[in-house]
Chains A and B, each alone.
Chain A
Amino acid sequence: MSAQSDGLGVGAASELYQNVTCPFCGLLCDDLEISRTGSALKVVKNGCPRSAAGFERALPAAKPLVDGKEVSLEAAIAAAAARIKAAKLPLYGGMATDVDGARAVLSLADRSCGVVDHALSEGQYRNIKVVQTSGWITSTLTETRNRADLIVIVGSDVHKLHGRFFERIVCARQSMFDDVVKKRTVIFIGEGLDTSAATGPRVGEVITLSCPNTRLTELLGVISARVRGAHLEATRTAEPKRGLLSSLLPHSWTASTPSEEIAGVKLSAVDAVVEKIKAAHYGVMVWSPPGLNFPQADLAVHLICEIVKELNVTTRSAGLSLGGNEGSPSAASVATWQTGYPLRISYANGKPEYDSYRYSIGRMIAQNEGDLLLWLASFTTDLGPPATRIPTVVLGTPGLRLAKQPAVFIPVGTPGIDHAGIMIRCDNVVSLPMKNLGRSQLPPAADVLAAIEKAL
């Protein structure tokens, strides 16, 4: 194992790779064509801005560092192990890696009695909280692509977050059921969402309900009520009665707002959308958790899922959560199958202990809990560790943004570029093989973590 980003990995000086899986967003598109010349990659086919930025980034030279000084990989591993050994409560954050990397983090955390969490857990927990309180009915990418006759995009700028979602899913040229699903209606709910991609022969009507995300929960509450056939007049009293609706409508739907509007949307427009949703044969409500970036956004996800459940009493409908960047579904799934808990687990007592608030590493860092942070970020350079006073061991892709010099830095490969691996897609069903494109000889994080564990 060597940890140098210069020098070629495998194979010839140049090569063309097909059916390449892109690790840079949760969709894990696997139809990319990538060429490599030396260590330079180019997206030849089926790219998007995010994949181009990820694959085509020039990889800076990077060497293992201990206290800022270049050392051998072995010395860096020994230094990392020594820090972990000395720590009372090591925190294993970031977790931006593939399945094998997640397995290795959990194994090391288990052995060293640490805490594990993923950098993007805040978004993922908007979903997990819903699963763990009320559950949901969901769809997957192929199911939606072929069967949806109506797609509602909720509160997330999906086109910006997932550059090929519209091309591959919403506007797909062919579907298995062209004879029954001819056109699909696309509805956007939110503010400033890029609707430009909802176009082409597959797309029928496009409707937008413009509403700021801070008031999304209100609007979803009303949609939910209307889908259930509730008469909103019943709640239009100066003193809202305690109950489902009033709790969902914190400050607007009272006698003091007698206009036929909710969160800035005309009630008639809401009702028109509700009629379409109810009439659809397979309406899919889509959101991307990072897009729902406001306090208690899990309540918005909950409402989406309750709307879907209600629709299923008479027709078929499903939710579809996107997101899943930086290997977050891989981390959450591996943690769940290996421990029973999705993330935010502490092994401090030898057993896995789960608390989605207490073991949020973001919160722990902010409140000075833990005495060592091991941060793993193997995909994008943006995912640097949070500012902290405790010493940090970073396993990162070369060029990773670091606010300060970590105690130990070990450059690691990117799954699907520098080494092979497996990752799990945002729908938590499909997992995909990641190819070694031979860009460098950077080691897989899993190998480095295993070596650290061995050195404990």
Chain B
Amino acid sequence: MMIKLTGGKVYDPANKVDGEVRDIYVADGRIIVPAPEARVDEEYDLKGRVVMAGAIDPHTHIGGGKVTIARMLLPEDHAKDEVAHTELTRAGTGHACPSTLVTGYRYAEMGYTACFEPAMLPANARQAHLEMGDTPLVDKGAFAMLGSDDFMLRQLAQKHDFSLVKDYIAWTMHASQAIAVKVVNPGGISAFKFNQRKLDLDEKHAYYGITPRDIIVTLARGLLELGVTHPLHIHGCNLGIPGNVETTLATIRAAEGLPIHLTHIQFHSYGVGGDRHFDSGAVRIAELLKQNPNVSIDVGQVLFGATCTASGDSMRQYNGAKNADPKRWVVMDIECDAGCGVVPFRYRDKSYVHALMWAIGLETFLLCEDPWRIFLTTDHPNGAPFYTYPHLIRLLMDRSFRKDMMQKVHPDALKNSTLPSLEREYSLYEIAIMTRAGPARSLGLKDRGHLGVGACADITVYADDADREAMFKTPKLVFKNGELVVRDGRVVKVVQGATHVARPEYDKAIEKPLKDYFDSYHTMRMENFKLSDEEIIEGGRGEIIVQPTKARVS
């Protein structure tokens, strides 16, 4: 069957198409050039509509143990947002940490067709994939968390041969079915287990004697040499601490030109200036980013309201637990592998600190000139639930709306940030880069995030509404793999997305020491630690797409 999308204004930055009126043809789930005699089976008149590839969220906590702890923690938060089943869709609940099914429906209803879980603990990988398997309509993928796991820290402490370290990184990606690697508070989750309450970039882990800098450089270089497309995804040291902008700047310098991605950078951009000793570091970060094209970021924008923070960073989450609202929280030490912390939180616009966090996020968006290196995230659900993206897009695209919103927040916060002076408005083209083309390129999704011939037909069609929030909230049409799945912001068909993975080369000989290690110390056999393809896709749960990696260097 061939579908024709006729006459829409197309924003496809990967192919340098900026609002041109174009027809798009789709067959067998792909965007095609039709044969001259080919018959159009279905045509959609998109005159005046805006057409983009399906949106991609490169950092959203949608699957795995900590998300399910967050779900369990706050029944009253779900009770406000219960969703009944329909003929097509299952029942579930929403708000801060929506159930898996509602997550899939709502992402699709917002024009998203792919979501990436950024903090998959290898020990918990099977469950993370089970949860993502129950998240319909969107493609999925996950980043394996390394850098506080005993095996790697031991390798570094004992100065193992670098090729062995790379073998271990690659093995872990295979075993946990990951597309990328993330490091969270490098070494700090482990250090917290040894009762260290803080671990700065050059501070030594009490047991292993290595520093976060060692870990970051090792992982970043390892991934580069393994040919993994997405650079090391870094949740840095000192999250949330005033003055941590210095750590973030030092982390950028520590990379020494290696490709890195700094995630939810808003939480790492705090200075100690001003009367309250808490001000914005966004200007300094943006300056250094300009000089370091090896660095990409996502923002982790804070938006006001109740949410629940869920992170692998047990050290910082334990510290933040004193601000839990409501007063209940969970922290875990996990399998000598990682940890997690789940702390409910309420961002209030009348709070100086929260308003400043909001302002810093927006400053970061507006100061970073290269939209290819900055991605739109709230670090769902940490800064805000993902449903707030349309509101965030309007804040970026609509200066007068932004100024209106500034009237509502704590006025002192604006004095300690440059936000009031920033006049920039994002264009639709830039939004398309930040939410489609950029994440796809960064993650190495070959045929996603663009509308060129051969691309997967994940397509979102919007009304060109001057109210950008309304526009991005309720797409007119969403196609997943060439099938119409959402019309006027409601799911009309439920399909399963794919799971994207990357499989860099490694020497299978690593399994010998690994097996000894598992048998000696773990409560799980190495053979059972590894997650098979069948476990992910059984029961009609989509397919696995292995994204290409470059040839391994040594």
Show the binding face of A for B, using Cβ within 8 Å: 18-19, 21, 29-31, 99-100, 103, 107, 110-111, 128, 131-143, 145-147, 168-169, 174-177, 180, 281-282, 312, 315-316, 318, 333-334, 336-342, 347, 349-354, 422, 424, 428-433, 446
Contact = CB atoms under 8 A, between A and B. Distances in A.
Given A107-B90, A134-B327, A422-B535, A347 B100 contact: no
B129 to A, nearest CB: 10
B127 A333 contact: yes
A3 B509 CA distance: 44
B514 interface: no
B335 interface: yes
A135 B329 contact: yes
B71 A336 contact: yes
21 contacts: A18-B527, A110-B90, A110-B91, A131-B72, A132-B75, A134-B328, A135-B328, A138-B330, A142-B123, A143-B334, A146-B336, A281-B195, A337-B130, A339-B78, A340-B71, A341-B78, A349-B84, A351-B85, A354-B78, A422-B126, A433-B126
Given A142-B521, A354-B79, A433 B528 contact: yes
Interface in B42-97: 63, 65, 67-69, 71-75, 78-79, 82-85, 90-93, 97
A356 B340 CA distance: 26
Nearest to B76: A132
A201 to B, nearest CB: 15
B85 A19 contact: no
Contacts of A110: 85, 90-91
B525 A341 contact: no
Given A281-B195, A339-B99, A422-B535, A350 B85 contact: yes
A147 B336 contact: yes
A312 B315 CA distance: 11
A143 B333 contact: yes
Contacts, number: 196
A193 B343 CA distance: 36
B311 to A, nearest CB: 15
B332 to A, nearest CB: 5
B131 A337 contact: yes
Given A134-B328, A352-B93, A354-B79, A146 B134 contact: no
- Which of A103, A147, A168, A433: most chain B CB closer than 10 A? A433
A312 B524 CA distance: 28
Given A281-B195, A337-B131, A350 B330 contact: no
Interface in B308-338: 318, 324, 327-337
B72 A431 contact: no
A177 B99 CA distance: 39
B187 interface: no
A338 B92 contact: yes
B415 interface: no
Contacts of B329: 135
A340 B528 contact: no
A338 B124 contact: no
Contact of B318 (A103, A138, A312, A338): A312
A251 to B, nearest CB: 29
A62 B72 CA distance: 38
Interface string B513-554: 000000011111101100010010011000000000000000
B199 interface: no
B162 interface: no
B336 A180 contact: no
A364 B79 CA distance: 22
A142 B522 contact: yes
B67 A431 contact: no
Instruction: Tell me if A's interface is mostly helix, strand, loop or mixed.
Output: mixed
B525 A19 contact: yes
A195 B98 CA distance: 44
Interface string B135-165: 0000000000000001000100000000000
Q: Give chain B's interface residue range (CB within 8 Å of chain A).
A: 35 or more
B101 interface: yes
A352 B73 contact: no
Chain B interface mostly = mixed
A74 to B, nearest CB: 21
Contact of B525 (A30, A333, A424): A30
A342 B93 CA distance: 12
Contacts of A351: 82-85, 91, 93
A439 to B, nearest CB: 20
Contact of B85 (A21, A111, A139): A111
Nearest to A174: B520
B71 A337 contact: yes
A141 B328 CA distance: 24
A315 B521 contact: no
A133 to B, nearest CB: 6
A190 to B, nearest CB: 24
Which of A136, A143, A176 has the most chain B CB within a 10 Å cutoff?
Answer: A143
A336 B333 contact: no
B493 interface: no
A128 B72 contact: yes
B197 to A, nearest CB: 10
B335 A430 contact: yes
A353 B78 CA distance: 9
Given A110-B90, A138-B330, A142-B335, A177 B85 contact: no
B72 A430 contact: no
B207 interface: yes
A163 B420 CA distance: 65
Contacts of A140: 123, 332-335
A238 to B, nearest CB: 33
A338 B134 contact: yes
A168 B520 CA distance: 11
Nearest to B131: A337
Contact of A337 (B68, B521, B532): B68
A340 B332 contact: no
A432 B530 CA distance: 10
A338 B127 CA distance: 13
Contact of B99 (A175, A340, A350): A340
B193 interface: yes
B524 A139 contact: no
Interface centre among B131, B193, B532 (most CB of A within 10 A): B193
Given A134-B327, A140-B123, 9 more contacts: A132-B75, A135-B73, A138-B331, A139-B332, A177-B207, A316-B192, A316-B195, A341-B93, A352-B99
Contacts of A333: 68, 127
B195 to A, nearest CB: 5
A181 B134 CA distance: 41
A349 B330 CA distance: 31
Contacts of A432: 126, 524, 528
A316 B528 contact: no
A50 to B, nearest CB: 17
B91 A315 contact: no
Contacts of B150: 146, 176
Contacts of A334: 130
A338 B90 contact: yes
A23 B79 CA distance: 34
A174 B84 contact: no
A99 B128 CA distance: 13
B4 to A, nearest CB: 36
A110 B318 CA distance: 37
A431 B83 contact: no
A424 B131 CA distance: 12
Given A333-B127, A338-B92, A143 B525 contact: no
Contacts of A21: 528
A19 B528 contact: yes
A99 B130 contact: yes
Contacts of B93: 339-341, 351-352
A342 B72 contact: yes
A318 B525 contact: no
A22 B83 CA distance: 37
Contacts of A347: 85, 91
B328 to A, nearest CB: 4
B178 to A, nearest CB: 16
